[in-house]
A and B are shown apart, each in its own frame.
Chain A
Amino acid sequence: MVCESWKAKLDNCLDGELPEEEMRGFDAHVRNCPSCSADALARVQMKRAIQVAGKRYAPSAEFRKRMQQKIAAKPQRSFGLGWTLAAAAAVILVVGTLTSAYLGTRSGRDQVFSEIADLHVATLASSSPVDVISTDRHTVKPWFQGKIPFAFNLPELQNTEFSLLGARMTYLDQTPGAHLIYDMRKHHISVFVFQERSLPAGLDDNSLSPKQLPFNLETWSQGGLRYFVIGDASAADIDSLAKLFKAAS
């Protein structure tokens, strides 16, 4: 009877639509019920297959450019109201642009860091944090082939305290990227890799400190890719892992 009740809610649960308490109950049940566990696995496989198959069509660059031009052309206004107004507008514009450029860079940077922290926490809280479970970088790297539009190198971890737990695909600002999870003395550390061009500028600006992040974070750009290393390990440990990545790239 218990199984019947869960099976009826299986899809809602896998869609993340059950209340938190029920989700926990479901999680506990699935761990001990081979039948529901097999059902859940089959449905997750189906969800993933639809997800992959459904991302089928991409617009041409020409169409994108055309649309961008159409949308961007709209807000422009006529400046035929006289030189006085134009001059006043120009002054306001210059001041406003300088201010908003500074604030925009800052808020864009803070937002990216916050999202990285959210991705790190949400993944560790998940009952299945990784899509590919492997300690072998030669298994993890090829797993990303065809899933993300770039390639990157994973460092050799022999004689270090770090070990690779696995990896998953992730998205930041609707851009696909790689999420690797490492273990170091029971601390879990996330490494995210995205294409630099898809992220806001100013992420390396040292005059701005990450906005009260509860984690240590290091970020850098290398070979057109943007790397983030984040975790609750010490800043020195985060830096050590970052150095290994820098050396491998």
Chain B
Amino acid sequence: MPEESLPSESFEQLAMPHFERLYNFACWLTHDRQEAEDLVQETYAKALKGFSSFQPGTNFRAWIYKILRNAFLTSRTGLKATATVPLDLEGEEEALPVVKETPESILLQRSDGQIVQQALEQLPIAYREILLLCEVEEMSYQEISATLAIPMGTVMSRLSRARKALRGGLQQQFAKRMN
């Protein structure tokens, strides 16, 4: 998609290909389909209104995801989520545990994805969103940095902690299943 040629009518062409994924991301943030629909609608309305400020040639995906995230953060659910969860505790980076072929990794391969979904749901919002942007949206660190408005170094450290937290969550889920 040539983002350089941007008359206003190309908004639909640029924005609609992201519709399904934005909705998926909104659902993960809000945990509620109706709220997610409202959030996506608000995002598109804001994006359309501010489309003239979008710089052609820059990253449209990061731009629209940033609008969605900001809309979420100022919503009632978003305010509640960020008020109750410590955002980013920048601390000493602990060595990540070596994960080799373990009962968990074998189960992970065989599971239907439900167990991972549950572990993702349990994550603090800051960890959940960065993992989704990296793994599901397959954004580069630079795109994530632009979307979340955080430095590249923070992207890396937060991702690392998010992965570690997910592994911890998965181990708990597995333990529950075993009992």
Is B100 interfacial (CB-CB < 8 Å)?
Answer: yes
- Among B100, B109, B135, B167, which residue has its beta carbon within 8 angstroms of that of A51? B135
Best-buried of A12, A15, A55, A64 by chain B (most CB within 10 Å): A15
Contacting pair B41 A58 (CB below 8 A): no
- What is the number of residues of chain A that contact chain B, defined by CB distance less than 8 Å? 36
Residue on A with the closest CB to B139? A15
A7 to B156, CA, bound (A): 14
Is B11 interfacial (CB-CB < 8 Å)?
Answer: yes
Contacting pair A50 B99 (CB below 8 A): no
A56 to B25, CA, bound (A): 9
Contact with B along A27-55 (1 / 0, CB 8 A): 00000000100110011011101111111
Contact with A along B122-141 (1 / 0, CB 8 A): 00000000011011100011
Contacting pair A59 B23 (CB below 8 A): yes
Contacting pair A57 B24 (CB below 8 A): yes
Q: Chain B residues with Cβ under 8 A from A52's Cβ?
A: 113, 116
Q: Chain B residues with Cβ under 8 A from A50's Cβ?
A: 116, 120, 131, 135-136, 166
In the complex, how many angstroms separate the beta carbon of A98 from the nearest chain B beta carbon?
17
Contacting pair B12 A72 (CB below 8 A): yes
Q: Chain A residues with Cβ under 8 A from B116's Cβ?
A: 49-50, 52-53
3 residue pairs, one from A and one from B, having the closest CB atoms: A54-B136, A53-B116, A57-B27
B residues contacting A by CB (< 8 A) are: 8-9, 11-12, 15-17, 19-21, 23-24, 27-28, 33, 36-37, 40-41, 44-45, 48, 96, 98-101, 105, 108-109, 111, 113-114, 116-117, 120, 131-132, 134-136, 140-141, 156, 159-160, 163, 166-167
CB pairs A–B below 8 angstroms (26 shown): A7-B96, A11-B156, A15-B141, A16-B140, A39-B99, A39-B100, A42-B101, A42-B105, A45-B108, A45-B109, A46-B163, A50-B136, A53-B113, A54-B28, A54-B120, A54-B131, A54-B132, A54-B136, A55-B136, A57-B23, A57-B28, A67-B19, A68-B16, A70-B44, A71-B12, A74-B11
